[in-house]
Structure 1
Amino acid sequence: MRACLTAVALLIGSVASAQLLDTPVGEASASVEEAQVTTVRFRVGAVVTAKRGACRDILGMVAVPIACDEQQVRVVEEDFSPGVTATFRDLADGNARQMLFALPYLENGAEARAVLTYEVTTRTTPPPSDAEAVELKIPERVPRGMRGYVSPSSFIEARHPKIKKLAREIQKDLEESNPDASDFERVEAVYDYVMENIEYLEGPDTSAVTTLETGSADCHGRSALIIALCRSMDIPARMVWVNDHVYPEIYFERGEDDGVWLPSESAGTIAFAEMPITRPIMQKGDDFRVPERRGEKLRYASEFLMAYPAARGGRTPSVKYIREVVSDGAGVMAQ
């Protein structure tokens, strides 16, 4: 699964500079009594090189880890070349975050860096107890602001006849075997079907329908199918993009005006409504809009670069994006 896509376009842009060091973001609001917590150093950024002529008006975008209930983030190191300025912006109510970096001019053969190292503290999500699971309900009405999480999107064809038919069949089979199934068990039946019937196979990202038709997929295809089946039942569900992986997250209500998003593993160990492994969380969702990329609907707010050649006959610069775990948070380099 490749969540990181790159592109180069021509556009003039500029952003204001910002002081980034020692800025803690996000406070976990959920109980972590049974959770395991991991802290890592995580490096993101870009290295731009003017290999074929000087360049001007460079504006780049890099996805950075987000702050959310299960994750806190803090910038601990900056690596900006002279002249580079940077700022942040949130997308989709904070479910994605970008660093925008700008450089007015880059000489032929020169290199410019815009790299940040984060301290990322992520906790696992323990499964609900049996008593808690019984109290988790499928929303009777889609909560305000969540309509997008029950609608079709790129690669998640929630209204496709094959998806709707399969969702009905799964629920019918469950009703016959367990007439008193709880809402939690109804959603779990969807998850179990996909994990049992879709063979895990590394490959390119596939859509929900393609995954269903081929019977195999990697973490992306399995997640897309789980989410599409849930959305076809008007159950809010979304993608969670983590470092080198993706998995589904499903919304339950647990009382009036109270709800919770619960993740599920899409590869390896079966883990419904829990996440036993910590990875840096990058984005949540699958339908993003970026102002500079007009008309594009993005599954992931990917890295992007815009620039002009400084002279006739010149070329746009090359760019290398960085996204890697560099330490376990205690100064030990990752292998």
Structure 2
Amino acid sequence: MTRRACLRSLVGSGTGAFVVAGSVLPIGSVFGQEGATNAAGENAAQSQLDASPVAATQIDLTVPQTTRWRLGVNIDTPVTFTSGLATFPVFMDWPEQTVSIKDRTVDGRVGNVAVRELDGARQVVVAIPRLTSGGSIQVELEMEVVRQPIVAPTETDNLIVPARLPREMRAYMGNSPMIDSSHPSIRALSRELAGDAPESDWEKVRQIYDVVRDKVRYQEGPIRDASDALKAGVGDCEDMTSLFVALCRNAGIPARMVWIPGHCYPEFYLEPKDAKPERGELAGNWYPCQAAGTEQFGGMLEARPVLQKGDRFRVPEQRTPVRYVAEFFRCDRQGSKAPRVEFIRKPV
């Protein structure tokens, strides 16, 4: 996959005082001066970073793969700056993976470090009140991720699209950035597919999957809306995933993007026909598929960890929803030169 604007680090110059908006857990007390650790704070932050945002799954998970990753930000500056803010996404628990922190490094000149919860993503938020010319800071986490491949179900006739979507599922319907589900060409193709009347909802999704892979040939290039990928007949993993998600949503099937290092793929949601969920709970499962690459439908053999799930994130630093939660930095600098910012995400 080519390096996209939505995946790039966003480096700019801001104005005004530093403010952290949204839901955050302060972990400044967790990372003491020069890397010393407060035990009570560590337990609180570890619990927050390890908490799973979704209900237990019935998907068959086997053969776990364990990897370690370094994530963080290093900044050195030739000019004094104030009101610095750096954010970067980190791995989080999902039904198919568990995450734990194995090591961390936090420079003592950092004002505060917090974890911000978004719906489907998690960020580390680093506040730097002031850094003088020639100064540098380092914030790094070493995370261990245990990911289990997902085996596709063998019995699918009883899996259906929910008749009534829970509130939390509404984010996975309608339009998202680059996923123009309501575009006339998407709607026309969706009506055409509906006319074939598949035998089950599982087969309905399978039909969408096959059509995407039939109509769009894999080719790297500039990022496209789902409708543009359909028109061009070419696209990479992002474009093909966007088209699959757009067609599912237009057909009333909840779907979303799954982001892993260097790649993305879609998931769709179905539940058992006789399910009777408790109020506010989900009765079904999210099922992955590989829109681009080796055919995989309903299961996923993938060792790379999940970074985030979704495609319409509301990030306080961005004025409009974004499809991917990228790294971000801003500050008020005193001079014409800019701080040098390096975001880190690499396997150990």
What's the TM-score, normalizing by structure 2? 0.84
Q: Which amino acid aligns with 1:298?
A: V
Q: Give the RMSD, CA atoms, in angstroms.
A: 2.0
CA contact (8 A) 2:109 2:128 kept: yes
Q: C-alpha distance in 2, partners of 1:7/1:32? A: 40
Aligned pair partner of 1:233 in 242, 251, 255: 251
Is 1:103 the counterpart of 2:114? The answer is no
Is 1:305 the counterpart of 2:324? The answer is no
Aligned pair partner of 2:146 in 96, 118, 121: 121
Q: C-alpha distance in 2, partners of 1:290/1:296? A: 8
Shift of 1:110: 2.5
Q: C-alpha distance in 1, partners of 2:12/2:29? A: 24
CA contact (8 A) 2:84 2:332 kept: yes
Q: Which residue of 2 aligns with 1:190?
A: 208
Q: C-alpha distance in 2, partners of 1:217/1:315? A: 38
Q: Deviations over 1:258-302 (max 9, x none)?
A: 111111112221111111112111111111112233x22111121
Is 1:46 the counterpart of 2:73? The answer is yes
Q: C-alpha distance in 2, partners of 1:278/1:26? A: 21
Is 1:35 the counterpart of 2:40? The answer is no
Shift of 1:18: 4.1
CA contact (8 A) 2:147 2:303 kept: yes
Q: Which residue of 1 aligns with 2:241?
A: 223
Q: Which amino acid aligns with 1:306?
A: R
Aligned pair partner of 2:292 in 246, 267, 279: 267
Q: C-alpha distance in 1, partners of 2:300/2:266? A: 10
CA contact (8 A) 2:84 2:330 kept: yes
User: Which secondary structure state, in structure 1, belongs to the residue aligned with residue 74 of structure 2?
Assistant: strand
Aligned pair partner of 1:73 in 77, 93, 99: 99
Q: Which residue of 2 aligns with 1:323?
A: 345
Q: Which residue of 2 aligns with 1:169?
A: 192
User: Which secondary structure state, in structure 2, belongs to the residue aligned with residue 78 of structure 1?
Assistant: strand
Aligned pair partner of 1:13 in 5, 11, 18: 18
Aligned pair partner of 1:291 in 316, 322, 336: 316
CA contact (8 A) 2:212 2:291 kept: no
What's the TM-score, normalizing by structure 1? 0.87
Shift of 1:196: 2.2
Q: C-alpha distance in 2, partners of 1:299/1:103? A: 27
Shift of 1:151: 1.0
Shift of 1:195: 1.3
User: Which secondary structure state, in structure 2, belongs to the residue aligned with residue 223 of structure 1?
Assistant: helix
CA contact (8 A) 1:26 1:72 kept: no
Q: C-alpha distance in 1, partners of 2:257/2:58? A: 23
Q: Which amino acid aligns with 1:322?
A: I
Closer, same or farther: CA 79–265 of 1 in aligned 2, 3 Å: same
CA contact (8 A) 1:54 1:314 kept: no
Aligned pair partner of 2:109 in 79, 83, 94: 83
Q: Which amino acid aligns with 1:304?
A: F
Shift of 1:30: 2.8
Closer, same or farther: CA 42–50 of 1 in aligned 2, 3 Å: same
Shift of 1:320: 1.2
User: Which secondary structure state, in structure 2, belongs to the residue aligned with residue 256 of structure 1?
Assistant: coil
Q: Which residue of 2 aligns with 1:4?
A: 7
Q: C-alpha distance in 1, partners of 2:11/2:231? A: 31
Q: C-alpha distance in 2, partners of 1:241/1:154? A: 15
Q: C-alpha distance in 2, partners of 1:300/1:34? A: 26
Q: C-alpha distance in 2, partners of 1:230/1:223? A: 11
Closer, same or farther: CA 281–314 of 1 in aligned 2, 3 Å: same
Q: Which residue of 1 aligns with 2:263?
A: 245
Q: C-alpha distance in 1, partners of 2:223/2:125? A: 27
Shift of 1:323: 1.1
Q: C-alpha distance in 2, partners of 1:79/1:204? A: 37
Shift of 1:154: 1.0
User: Which secondary structure state, in structure 2, belongs to the residue aligned with residue 147 of structure 1?
Assistant: helix
Q: Deviations over 1:68-103 (max 9, x none)?
A: 1111111111122221231101011xx110001122
Shift of 1:316: 3.9
Shift of 1:34: 4.9
Q: Which residue of 2 aligns with 1:214?
A: 232
User: Which secondary structure state, in structure 2, belongs to the residue aligned with residue 134 of structure 1?
Assistant: coil
Structure 2 residues without counterparts, runs of 5 or longer: 21-25, 32-41, 278-282
Q: Which amino acid aligns with 1:102?
A: A
Is 1:201 the counterpart of 2:227? The answer is no
